[in-house]
Amino acid sequence: MKSRLLVLFLLLATVVSAQEEYGRRIVKEIASAKYYGRGFVFDGDRKAANYIAKEFNNNGIVPLSGTDKGYFQYFTLSPNTFPKETTVAIDGKKLKVGCDFLIDAASKSIKGSFAWIRLTTDDFTKDLEKDILSNVAYQGRFLYIEEKEAIAQLGNDTFRKWIEVLKNKGVHAGVIINSSNKLLWRTLLYQIEKPVLYLKDFETSKREGLLTLQVVAEHKKDYQTQNVCGFLKGTGDTDSTIVITAHYDHIGAIGKNVIFKGANDNASGTALMLYLSNYYAKHPSKYDMVFLAFSAEESGLLGSKFFAENPLIDLSKIKFLLNLDMAGTGDDGIQVVNGSIFRKEFDRMVELNKENNFLPEVRIRGEMNRSDHQPFYERGVPCFFIYTLGGISAYHDIYDVYETLPFTNFTNYAKLLIKYIDTFK
């Protein structure tokens, strides 16, 4: 009898909800290596867009009228990409990309061996233009900077301004910054004149040394990417629309082996958006529903800005917009940006959560302009930007992967959103 109960317990423990099972399937796919971080190298963004379009089609979501071709709304940008492996060795010690160092995402191609020289505390008291940028002792060398020492002397704001100048001016060949901070990457649309290396916890007592590196950068001018836009007809006699958005892009790859897979940011939000499209295709709302998967959020909200400037729907008819980002945790609940702006709508979500005990907390926040709701909000569209709280800390690094994404409250989060959407009258 005990053995049967144990088997039953184990079976129940391994049951995964339909919501989580769907979310895991989507995240496992688009956060896999073959999508190269859904950036603009090796057609990662295009492969992901094609997959999302197929998922829309499978779910019964039709292309949004007015798209350039099928589900796609095309636009262009000019990303700086790194199609080949970046290699770095300092004094003969080879460093590992993403673990020991990262190259500035705006760096140009460079190859060779260069002397490096360490700036001292006294150097940070000197005149930047006269004593650093024009100093012949630094000609053709990399400047090695201990970030903690520099900030202690200059202050954080002045230090950041120094670095911005050093990226583009001076007789030096480049900059090395050693820090204890996490190694975070991003996507940039320009190139700087001097390459910058960011090291993590590199230990050396040397004043000078030798740097050997190879960086292959490709600045892709007028690269064509795409938003993926789907539509579901409502059952009611209304022309109002509920819009669900998520950005599917992430920050790409450095060569084919160092991939920023972006499982939480934002394969998880894309998965939640797709799950809602699947649910409402089977249980239609009275409102028309539009599902938008944006590209180039990481490049400055370019996909959502393009859609808002070239809308395929009447923005004034949007009843509410929900922008979903980083939906893969939820240990501490969710954060609702614009909650204090649209207080009545926020309070309704809080009440639903309390009634059903879905999430530990629904936290309120004011305006924040760093996600894809913003271009719509600026045009008067009522909207929330929601993300989960707690759990893993991986973000914009090589550790944000499917294998460690907990999906802690994915199921209950999806249930809360469904109940919430269904309350709109």
Each residue's pLDDT tens digit, 351-402: 999 999 999 999 999 999 999 999 999 999 999 999 999 999 999 999 999 9
Question: What is the average pLDDT across 119-144?
Answer: 96
Confidence of residue 2 (pLDDT cuts 50, 70, 90): low
pLDDT at 14 over 80: no
In contact, 219 and 198? CB cutoff 8 Å: no
Contact 226, 49 (CB under 8 A): yes
Count CA atoms within 13 Å of residue 28 on its CB side.
Answer: 9
DSSP-derived letter for residue 129 is I
User: Diameter of the chain by CA atoms?
Assistant: 84
Of 194, 190, 281, 207, the closest CA to residue 244 belongs to 281
Evaluate if residue 12 carries a pLDDT over 70: no
How much is the pLDDT for 9?
A: 43
Cα-based angle 409, 415, 420 (whole degrees, multiple of 5): 125
The per-residue pLDDT of the chain, averaged, comes to: 95
pTM for the predicted model, two decimal places: 0.95
User: Is the predicted pLDDT of residue 11 greater than 60, yes or no?
Assistant: no
